[in-house]
Chains A and B, each alone.
Chain A
Amino acid sequence: MYTLKEKTVVTLRVNGEDRQALIRPGDILLDTLRDGLGLTGAKPGCLNGDCGACTVLVDGTPIKSCLMLTAEAVGHEITTVEGLSDTPIQRAFIELFAFQCGYCTSGFLMVCHALAGQMQTPPDAVIDEWLESNICRCTSYEEIGKAVRAVLNGEIK
């Protein structure tokens, strides 16, 4: 088992690159990404796993980075919003007005991107189940739903 006792330098695989960070054993992935690696796209919203603003992908699966220790992420493939570039879901969010203040957007993008990558035509109940993990306080969610569906059904490629 992988153990840490003191402040230690670890190597994280983030957005396809190996990055080194000095961490305490109790550090959470969110803080390491932001304070250690300068990747501030993942946002703190509650530090309790309730809001999803800090969502990143770990081996392709959406994970709330406030609930994962940095030490647990070693050896896994981490993708943050900074690792997305001109993807269909980013274009869909812009074209369909799926954000206002933008603070929850990174988290929602990561969930939607993973969903579109894992499933072809999920039923509405599955889309709801995936997206209810995150909170947006500005939009009505309708726009986010339209954006993810536009990508899932290939309207926006």
Chain B
Amino acid sequence: MSKTGIGVPVIRKEAASKVTGEAKYTADFLEPGTLTAQLVTSTCAHGVIAGIDTSAAAGVPGVRAILTGESCPELCGAILKDRPPLARGKVRYYGEPVALVVAEDAFLAAKAASLIKVSYEPLPVVHGPGQALEPGAPLIHEGLGAYKRIVADVYPEPGTNVCHREKVRKGDVEKGFSECAVILEARFKLPQSDHIAMETRAATASISADGTVFIRTSSQAPFEVRKMLSELYQIDEGKIIVEVPMVGGGFGGKAPVNLEILAYLASRAAGGRPVRLVNTREADMVSSPCRMGLEATLKLGATEDGILKAAEMTFLIDAGGYADIGPRLAKAIAVGCTGPYHIENVSCDSLCVYTNHPYVTSFRGFGHASVTFCIERALDKLARKLRLDPARLRYKNALMPGQTSPTQVKITASNCGNLQACIERVKGLVNWEEGDRLDMGGGKIRAKGIAAFWKTSNSPPDAASGAFISFNKDGSVNLNVGCVEIGPMMKTTAAQILSEALKMDISRIHVNMDVNTRYTPYHWKTVASMTTYMIGRAVLRAAEDVTDQLKSMAAVVMKCAPEDLDIGDERVFLRSDPSVFKSFRDLVHGYHYENGNALYGQMLGRGGFIMTDLNFLDRETGKGKPGPYWTVGAQAVEVIYDTVAHTYRLTKAATVIDAGKVLNPAMAEGLVKGGMCMGLGLGSREHFQYDPAGRVLDTSLRTYKVMHFGQTPEYLVAFVETPFVEGPYGARGLAEHGIVGIPAALGNALSVACGAELDELPLLPEKIWMAKTGGRL
């Protein structure tokens, strides 16, 4: 195995620490004297807080502070400031933090928390986004119009439950439909669910005598934590240090600022003493933000030979009680509403809607697994109407260079890859040509479904990253980048890119695994599968910086021109005669002559990167560029379905992604397979259910089921490599994408298998039975 560069299955840098228990996550730092904070959460989904009695709790010895909404009047939010850190006046979802107890240890904190009595006067509950829009629906945020907007492009609609509306208008939809031979209309309903990162969210906070705030947190966005705390509490950013050690899975759930605010308030109330706040699994599922639900209506039109001409769509996001990143989810869904297909005439309204469900945030795929389910299920229905092979329908309509996206970005091979190649390849992987429905006898049907997807970043147009390089005296390199190690080995990927650029052994590149906002270069957030691109570009620039320094310094020492030199294997050598060289170790901490003279100081490399040609979308038409590129792919699922019990076994799941360039084949495969596994969970079993009062029923892993060992299918993964010319070595991001089309492909396979249209998730046998029989025995 080559030890240099990209395209090889490098072992992750922190591997040994993760198999020995040595790797430390936020809650593993147990400093003596640290207080414990314990949440008290709402037992009511929508209600006025009639009273909070803390007197008994305050009497527990060892209790250092008790906070309620009255102790913190500020409102927080990343897009719209609509959420009190602790509920004030009313609660808007079951599980909302209502009080916080700070005590000497966990036992005392739990004891005191159990003694806090909160009384509620229940209000009518909004159970879903459709209901939220009905005339006369209860208002969840009476003061919506008064909330401060953090960004310019969020448009709340006061007097309603609409938090934000994103519109796409392209072409002439009416004219488009008039040209269609076949029109399909469909409705879809997808539930809220949860990230279930194995490490629940955790944060510790302390405030030192000079006012410096120290936060250690399991976050995907340490620089956002710093920014939000600074803005909320008027603390200079430089006086806030946010440190993130290893993170036990994020999947988008640790991108928002959440427990950090409460930990800070707890420490402030306890005189600055260190306080730790760790979510229980129950709190992590319903108090901290979860994954969006969706209700959608789609109308698609096509010509007789299956060319898509027009699409009209409405998406209602079940955002829960608060906005968080919901308006951006609405944007992402609108931007990608057609899927990776060319449709000339598009009208789409994507709404972020308040309900009395737990509030939502980013989740792996950022809305795309949901919108993809809708469009891909609709395409299968359309294919049936047209009597066309569903794979063929997708192939025919795949976006091609020269066409435009719904927000009118010109498609190129570089920015959108080759979907047709992905479709052809995935067909081969699952032997599509044998047919998508095979009767095996004995009441068993083997069926396949296919789906294609695309995804771009929907990041702020000025998202940025940085990289620092320093050297050790032996010539080895230290790399410092601001991405968080949440699992997909981005720190190692950064080292691989540097190894390729400097043509040196990756074992001689040391990466700082944690992030500390004082000394780690800024990175927007570890989200959106953008790390390889953004950090990669910053690393390449830093590599160029040190390469230039090495060459110009060696040129002086070696008495030649810098352009006559090249680097490799920790040497700067003459291109004409590589045996004439200077080693990195002789250059990077100054050059030392035999007589004692020295030249230059230590060598430091730096690279900065910022997105360059993105812009805000037009409010009326959506026109604008939302991300630097799309990652496209095609997926398929095969099941064996029991026609009597309506149960099924997952037998195959396949993905082909246009990766641009695969930097680490083993990791890329692992990420895609892991994504598929999670997608199968979303498709087959994961959901929040509520009682009539809006209380979440699935608050433990006993009743909320995820995929387990032994329940998984055979996984098939392949890559197409159409370079993204601006990406590091042509690479596109692919960490999220394995999940995106899988619920849709499963829905298509099972719809074919059972002969009924399955338009709701998750696909429990009971749901299939209902769709198939209408509930008649």
Pick from A45, A94, A100: contact of B19, CB under 8 Å = A94
Closest partner residue, chain B, to A124 (CB atom):
B710
Which chain B residues border A47 with CB–CB below 8 Å? 280-281
A99 to B678, CA, bound (A): 15
Q: A35-B30, A132-B708, A138-B674 are in contact. Are A101 and B702 (CB under 8 A)?
A: no
Which chain B residues border A32 with CB–CB below 8 Å? none
Contact A128 B710 (CB under 8 A): yes
A17 located at the interface, meaning its Cβ lies under 8 Å from any Cβ of chain B in the complex: no
The SS class assigned to the A binding surface is loop
User: Would you give the 0/1 interface string for B620-660, flagging 1 where the beta carbon is closer than 8 Å to chain A?
Assistant: 00000000000000000000000000000000000000000
Pick from A38, A90, A101: contact of B249, CB under 8 Å = A101
User: Would you give the 0/1 interface string for A106-145, flagging 1 where the beta carbon is closer than 8 Å to chain B?
Assistant: 1001000000000000000001110110111111111111
Contact A136 B712 (CB under 8 A): no
Interface window among B9-17, B209-217, B756-764: B9-17
Which chain B residues border A81 with CB–CB below 8 Å? 19-21
Contact B246 A102 (CB under 8 A): yes
A156 located at the interface, meaning its Cβ lies under 8 Å from any Cβ of chain B in the complex: no
Which chain B residues border A134 with CB–CB below 8 Å? 709
Q: How far is the CB of A151 from chain B (nearest CB, A)?
A: 13
Interface size class of B (residues with CB under 8 A): 35 or more
Pick from B16, B248, B710: contact of A94, CB under 8 Å = B16
B473 located at the interface, meaning its Cβ lies under 8 Å from any Cβ of chain A in the complex: no
Contact A44 B670 (CB under 8 A): no
Pick from B25, B249, B671: contact of A137, CB under 8 Å = B249
User: Would you give the 0/1 interface string for B656-686, flagging 1 where the beta carbon is closer than 8 Å to chain A?
Assistant: 0000000000110011011011100000000
Contact B700 A128 (CB under 8 A): no
Q: How far is the CB of B483 from chain A (nearest CB, A)?
A: 14
B41 located at the interface, meaning its Cβ lies under 8 Å from any Cβ of chain A in the complex: no
Interface size class of A (residues with CB under 8 A): 35 or more
Q: How far is the CB of B461 from chain A (nearest CB, A)?
A: 30
Q: How far is the CB of B170 from chain A (nearest CB, A)?
A: 38
Pick from B18, B250, B666: contact of A102, CB under 8 Å = B18
Which residues of A (80-106) have their CB < 8 Å from a CB of B?
80-82, 84-85, 90, 93-95, 97, 99-106
Which chain B residues border A127 with CB–CB below 8 Å? 710
Closest partner residue, chain B, to A135 (CB atom):
B706
B693 located at the interface, meaning its Cβ lies under 8 Å from any Cβ of chain A in the complex: no
A48 located at the interface, meaning its Cβ lies under 8 Å from any Cβ of chain B in the complex: yes
Q: How far is the CB of B362 from chain A (nearest CB, A)?
A: 16
Closest partner residue, chain A, to B704 (CB atom):
A50
Closest partner residue, chain B, to A99 (CB atom):
B18
A73 to B16, CA, bound (A): 29
Which chain A residues border B23 with CB–CB below 8 Å? 102
Contact B710 A109 (CB under 8 A): no
A48 to B702, CA, bound (A): 8
Closest partner residue, chain B, to A144 (CB atom):
B709
Pick from B20, B21, B487, B667: contact of A101, CB under 8 Å = B487
B616 located at the interface, meaning its Cβ lies under 8 Å from any Cβ of chain A in the complex: no
Besides A40-B28, A102-B487, 16 other A-B contacts (C-beta < 8 A): A24-B107, A31-B106, A35-B30, A47-B281, A80-B21, A81-B21, A82-B21, A90-B20, A95-B11, A97-B670, A102-B17, A102-B18, A103-B199, A132-B708, A140-B676, A141-B677
Question: 15 pairs across A/B with beta carbons < 8 Å?
Answer: A35-B30, A40-B28, A84-B19, A94-B15, A97-B9, A97-B666, A97-B670, A101-B250, A103-B197, A129-B710, A135-B198, A136-B709, A137-B198, A138-B249, A139-B674
